[in-house]
Structure 1
Amino acid sequence: MEMLGSGASAMADAPDGSVRPDDYRAFLEAKVPVAERSGLDCSIDDVNPILLAHQRAVVAWAVQGGRRALFEAFGLGKTMQQLEICRIIAEAACEPGLIVAPLGVRREFLRDAAMLGIALHFVQSDDEISAVLEGGPREDTAASLFLTNYESVREGKIQPGRFTVVSLDEASVLRSYGSKTYQTFLPLFESVPYRFVATATPSPNRFKELIHYAGYLGIMDTGQALTRFFQRNSEKANDLTLYPHKEDEFWLWLNSWAVFLQRPSDLGFSDEGYDLPPIEVRYHEVKTDIADAGADKHGQVRLMRDNAIGVTQAAREKRATLSARIEKAVEIVRSSGDDHFILWHDLEDERRAIEASLPEAESVYGAQLLDTREGIISRFAEGMTRLLAAKPVMLGSGTNLQRHCHRAIFCGIGFKFNDLIQAIHRLQRFQQPHPVIIDIIYAETETEILRDLQEKWARHNELTARMSELIRRYGLDHAAAANEMLDRSIGVTRTVESGRSIAVREIGRRKIAVFADAVAEGSSLAAAGRLIGVNQQRSSAIFAQIRRDLGWQAQ
């Protein structure tokens, strides 16, 4: 097999009438997906010096980009970075800014805003926003920053279009709202000029989530991204597989608009104070009466209970094994001395069982007043109470609970990996002084659910490491990554193979097969009149049409 030059270089000697190589290259480069810069000029000096070096670098990069994603590990300071990004842009535009976050992190945002000297207003309606903006001279209120919760936007109480800059904090919580809400929520921000998203766990296991973020930021239409990068499973919805030949291009494209940061040294800064504590995960299997299998929907009696595989079966097992799992949780707490614990649960019946078995535990749940809930969280975070019971979906995102607690018990398991990993990192995060111990309780009929979670965890670690390697290689200079993407995405190596059985292209008595860029190779063939089975007049007409379609003029 002969390895000849690229198709583009072969075009340089093509006869008159062929596609010009420079124009063809420019046409291909324009099709390579690279996130454009649409932000404001910003230097490190424009960022509040209270922020650490890596935080200031990310803030400047994000403001310059205008629409960017901050996918940073737990404890790297996404809260302060978002506040600074929104402050800089709001002040430059003299227009208000909005941060949307889970209710559980309101306390952290208000605390960090006060540290930065930013007046941050928590609101849950347009009327409250108007009251602030109209409550003083425009020069004092126009660039105000507001904080709200996701529910207020989802329920239409706040219209995002009135803001010049919006940041979605812990946007991964949107998954809990269901796919329909997820798809209808993000387009609400299309009229906002500057948009940002921040989360520690953009799931590399869920490609569609990353695509939705790109759509929210205006980087690429969701449908276009799915078609460009992914092969779909016609038998299973949302089952996406990266095309093998598009894998490198996808991750480099992602790197052009998102920063995946695991530690400051990924950007060349010191890791001092950022040593992640070790974690020990302990699994506890509780036995269940597998003979108590009941009957199927047709009334046929089952011999024994099957492993829970689907969502319906998992819900059934969770209720059937509730007592055994809570008993195991109580046993762990009572055998652990004075250790403080978070008891993660999913069901209200589990919460009530925890409260009955451990009267000293304080619980947070949806029916509580916000101030009551925050008081309970604050007391636990400050070490004033020992036991806290909560649902990951409510308290698992954004809240910092590592100062006085290094142990957590999952009183049950489910299919939602994001809930698991977010809840774990309320404790295993930078500035945690102790090794973290996680106890996971599951029934013997839930082994398949456990295996599914462990596989997702392994893939999460693998793909996060891949993105970290990219940020270490390119830093925040995404132009370098874009250049590599151009090289990877454009052209193929021209390969020629000859043999008697091959009848693709004939040169004299020699018959060869050519693997190359079809337009580049075909252009040279058209000019030479060598298209197989097509006379010179016909081949010239074909490529003349190509040139007209692409807007090129023959030389």
Structure 2
Amino acid sequence: MNVDYLDFVRSKTKQDQPSGFECANVGFGGLSLKGFQDHIIQWALRRGRAAIFANTGLGKTAMQVTWAGHVAEHTALPVLIAAPLCVARQTQREASKFGVHVEYVRDMPATPEGVYVTNYEMLDNFDPEAFAGIVLDESSILKNRDGKTRRKIIDDWKACPYRLSCTATPSPNDHMELGNQAEFLGIMGMDEMLAMFFTHDGGDTSKWRLKGHGRKKFWQWLASWAVTIRLPSDIGFEDDGYILPTLHTHEHLVASEYGDDMFTSIAQSLTERRQAKKETLDQRVAKVAEIVGKEDSEHWLVWCHTNDESDALVRSIPGAIEVRGSDSIEKKEKAINGFLDGDVRVLITKPSIAGMGLNLQHCARMAFVGLDDSFEQMYQAVRRCWRFGQGREVHSHIVSAESLGAIKHNVERKERQMEDMQAAMVEHMRYAMDSGRAADVEKTDYHPTVDMVLPAWVA
């Protein structure tokens, strides 16, 4: 084959080269990590900018604080970890177990050095130029493509040389959110990813699907900068100690407005669903209160989605403590820490508030007063208790109404999408991690050389 032609083909290949460094011994202070954790940390340090999508209980905190510690040590510059509410304090406590000192801060230190952790709400208080690295804990915060927070994080930290994105699952049913992760890491912009790997789904330009012929290329590209691990065996290690206990999911249906003697109309539109939720609120809350009351010696997590549901649950469950979005950070922390310490038996809150990152495995009972269409929120909420390290069987009660059946089917569809996506990522991942190869993507650059001439009628 003509050598000039080979050079031409190579010139069309866009590479995201690893920008990190080698680190043979990742444990601090003689403390050892699990073999698969060690392997992932070395790979992420070598990459410099990487994503770790590790299942709950596989030690994301251990991996991210160790990664941050080595980046701070290698560069002699500070590293910042951004985490959800209460998770920042939990990260600080966990880090000490792995020989890494992490300081919890809410404002920019006067003379920053070492590793810091803060809440996402405080991120505006820090100067990105002062840091060598940033870690996004529970980076699914990036899922809202048009979100102000997402855009600001990407723009403010785009010059930071070391970036790590960590979450149990990147919006597990949504390929599109992977573009947000790639954009934060500086791998590729969202619009470029869409143009390269996706096509509009029919007439609905807001929906995208993978191009059939580019599917394999997409997963290979993704696996070069992100590791997805459901079990240690996904990357060639033993699963000893990482077998989940049984999860018992109990479904409870309350009667809709017309009772059992008439055909129930299934709410389809958003307006119909809101109305159906409003009409069945009292029945759903009463059922949850009944379930929680039957096991009054257990700690319970009760998940809701609206303030009306939260108010009704507090009135119906004796001794329950509520955490809502309008509460101050201090009040939220006090309630959640009270539940962690065992002083609070029943915690009522929304998945959007406490469904990310927290380790609540002292609790093995939870109840949902209803569902919404976000499978990710439900997945994350269940995983606060059902995670590696949980020593008991977990019982999850889902209370819904007959008229809300469409939501259940939508959530189940998204669960199947998640399983397909994770299987595809794992299939291509191991080779990319072991080889350390760059992310190669064929790209055609456009360099116009002829001026466009518009017809007179257009001009």
TM-score by structure 2 length? 0.88
Partner of 1:457: 415
Equivalent pair of 2:264/2:402 in contact (CA under 8 Å): no
Partner of 1:192: 160
Aligned-residue offset at 1:448: 0.8
Q: Percent of counterpart pairs with the same letter?
A: 33
Unaligned 5+ runs, structure 2:
444-448, 451-459
Cα distance in structure 2, aligned partners of 1:410 and 1:204: 20
Alignment pair present for 1:321 and 2:280: yes
Cα distance in structure 2, aligned partners of 1:209 and 1:34: 21
Partner of 2:428: 470
Cα distance in structure 2, aligned partners of 1:436 and 1:27: 58
Q: Secondary structure at the match of 2:206?
A: coil
Residue 450 to residue 33, structure 1, CA distance change in 2 (3 Å): farther
Cα distance in structure 2, aligned partners of 1:24 and 1:376: 66
Partner of 1:74: 56
Equivalent pair of 2:22/2:46 in contact (CA under 8 Å): yes
Equivalent pair of 1:398/1:426 in contact (CA under 8 Å): yes
State the Cα deviation string for residues 360-412 of structure 1 (Å, max 9, x = none). 21222234443443333233234443311111001000101112x21211111
Cα distance in structure 2, aligned partners of 1:184 and 1:172: 15
Alignment pair present for 1:349 and 2:308: yes
The aligned runs of 1:297-316 (5 Å cut-off) are 307-316=266-275
Unaligned 5+ runs, structure 1:
1-11, 13-19, 134-141, 292-302, 491-547, 550-555
Cα distance in structure 2, aligned partners of 1:309 and 1:33: 44
Deviates more, 1:382-391 or 1:242-251: 382-391
Partner of 2:320: 361
Give the aligned residue type for 1:388: L
Partner of 2:151: 183
Q: 1:152 aligns with which of 105, 115, 122?
A: 122
Q: 2:93 aligns with which of 101, 111, 117?
A: 111
Q: 1:270 aligns with which of 238, 259, 262?
A: 238
Q: 2:6 aligns with which of 25, 35, 44?
A: 25
State the Cα deviation string for residues 156-207 of structure 1 (Å, max 9, x = none). 3333333110011101134469645433432221111111100001135322
Partner of 1:297: none
Q: 1:380 aligns with which of 339, 342, 346?
A: 339
Partner of 2:105: 123
Deviates more, 1:328-337 or 1:27-36: 27-36
Cα distance in structure 2, aligned partners of 1:415 and 1:65: 35
Residue 191 to residue 364, structure 1, CA distance change in 2 (3 Å): same
Q: Secondary structure at the match of 1:282?
A: strand
State the Cα deviation string for residues 272-293 of structure 1 (Å, max 9, x = none). 22111222222222112159xx
Partner of 1:40: 21
Cα distance in structure 1, aligned partners of 2:203 and 2:181: 25
Equivalent pair of 2:351/2:378 in contact (CA under 8 Å): yes
Give the aligned residue type for 2:290: E
Aligned-residue offset at 1:237: 4.3
RMSD value over aligned CA atoms? 2.8
Partner of 1:52: 34
Q: 2:191 aligns with which of 218, 223, 234?
A: 223
Equivalent pair of 2:359/2:385 in contact (CA under 8 Å): yes
Residue 110 to residue 181, structure 1, CA distance change in 2 (3 Å): closer
Q: Secondary structure at the match of 1:374?
A: helix
Q: 1:252 aligns with which of 220, 226, 231?
A: 220
Deviates more, 1:224-233 or 1:272-281: 272-281
Partner of 1:89: 71
Q: 1:162 aligns with which of 113, 120, 130?
A: 130
Cα distance in structure 2, aligned partners of 1:33 and 1:371: 47
Residue 213 to residue 174, structure 1, CA distance change in 2 (3 Å): closer
Partner of 2:350: 391
Equivalent pair of 2:102/2:117 in contact (CA under 8 Å): yes
Cα distance in structure 1, aligned partners of 2:249 and 2:286: 19
State the Cα deviation string for residues 196-253 of structure 1 (Å, max 9, x = none). 1000011353222101111111111222111000002364343111000000000011
Equivalent pair of 1:68/1:258 in contact (CA under 8 Å): yes
Residue 159 to residue 237, structure 1, CA distance change in 2 (3 Å): farther
Partner of 2:200: 232
Partner of 1:406: 364
Equivalent pair of 2:303/2:351 in contact (CA under 8 Å): yes
Equivalent pair of 2:41/2:63 in contact (CA under 8 Å): yes
Equivalent pair of 2:27/2:66 in contact (CA under 8 Å): no
State the Cα deviation string for residues 54-105 of structure 1 (Å, max 9, x = none). 1121111111110000000001111121111111111211111111110131
Cα distance in structure 1, aligned partners of 2:243 and 2:311: 37
Q: Secondary structure at the match of 1:441?
A: strand
The aligned runs of 1:419-438 (5 Å cut-off) are 419-438=377-396
Cα distance in structure 1, aligned partners of 2:307 and 2:145: 18
Deviates more, 1:325-334 or 1:35-44: 35-44
Deviates more, 1:275-284 or 1:320-329: 275-284
Cα distance in structure 1, aligned partners of 2:203 and 2:243: 45
Q: Secondary structure at the match of 2:16?
A: coil
Cα distance in structure 2, aligned partners of 1:260 and 1:397: 18
Aligned-residue offset at 1:312: 3.4
Q: Secondary structure at the match of 1:103?
A: coil
Partner of 1:520: none
Structure 1 or 2, whichever has the larger Rg, is 1
Aligned-residue offset at 1:304: 10
How many pairs does the alignment contain? Answer: 443
Give the aligned residue type for 2:121: E
State the Cα deviation string for residues 299-350 of structure 1 (Å, max 9, x = none). xxxx999533333333333223211110110121123353322100111221
Q: 1:241 aligns with which of 188, 197, 209?
A: 209
Residue 159 to residue 418, structure 1, CA distance change in 2 (3 Å): farther
Give the aligned residue type for 1:203: S
Partner of 2:454: none
